[in-house]
Amino acid sequence: WFERPIATQQTAWSFVAQMRGYESAKAGGILWFGVDDAASTVYMPIYSTITEVPECLKEGNGDLYTYSPTSAWWTYNIVANWAYSKYSAMMPDIKKVQAAWEDKFNAQVEVVDEEVANMDATQASEFLTKYSCAQAQESTAAWKDLGIYLFVKYLDGQVHIRLKNQYM
């Protein structure tokens, strides 16, 4: 009864591990991590050398039975659950924002690699920790904004086409 047979709503998180043995140990691999449904998440870059978990992904920041407004899992779940009601209509809006964030992250990989190339391992780890945490927090905040946009655009079963998306 759902319009899609893959990326099911039971997905809690998914990831793609980019093992980068060709890069220096300072930059290391990247865990492209997404929460909730694979089709409607943003895969954020979490570098393997970080020393801190982004606040929005931390254990204890909400759980299956405890809502947290700062939790990435809850933020992405709200968007996905709202999209179930009009999946074919909302998914193009979601895909636009998803693509913008993932394109940004992919474009930044080379820049980040160059940035840490001349740092010692400790400096590189600190830089990558701050970078990974910031990207996770910023993309989660953008997803919260997307949820508000979708809620207003599809309010009461109507499609409000004149609404400008200030979040995309």
- At residue 45, the pLDDT reads 96
pTM of the model: 0.86
Give which of 143, 156, 114, 144 is closest to 131, Cα–Cα: 114
The band of 3, judged by pLDDT with boundaries at 50, 70 and 90, is low
End-to-end CA distance of the chain: 30
pLDDT at residue 5 tops 60: no
Using the predicted structure, report yes or no on whether residue 100 has a pLDDT greater than 90: yes
The 3-state secondary structure of 18-42, one letter per residue: ECCCCCCCCCCCEEEEEECCHHHCC
Gap between the Cα atoms of 46 and 131, Å rounded: 9
Q: Could you tell me what percent of the chain has a pLDDT over 90?
A: 58
DSSP class of 45: E
pLDDT band of residue 116 (cuts 50, 70, 90) is very high
For the segment 55-87, what is each residue's pLDDT rounded down to a tens digit?
999 999 998 899 999 999 999 999 999 998 888
Reported as a single tens digit per residue, the pLDDT across 144-160 is 999 999 999 988 877 77
pLDDT of residue 18: 81
> What are φ and ψ of residue 51, in 5° steps?
-115, 0
168 or 22: which leads in pLDDT: 22
Kindly tell me the burial class for residue 157, based on how many C-beta atoms sit within 10 Å of its own C-beta (0-12, 13-18, 19 or more). Answer: exposed
Query: Do 132 and 54 touch, CB atoms closer than 8 A?
Result: yes
pLDDT, tens digit, 9 for 90 and up, residues 120-149 = 989 999 999 999 999 999 999 999 999 999
The residue among 13 and 115 whose pLDDT is bigger is 115
Tens of pLDDT, residues 16-63: 788 877 656 677 889 899 998 888 899 999 999 999 999 999 999 998
Q: What is the mean pLDDT of the chain?
A: 87
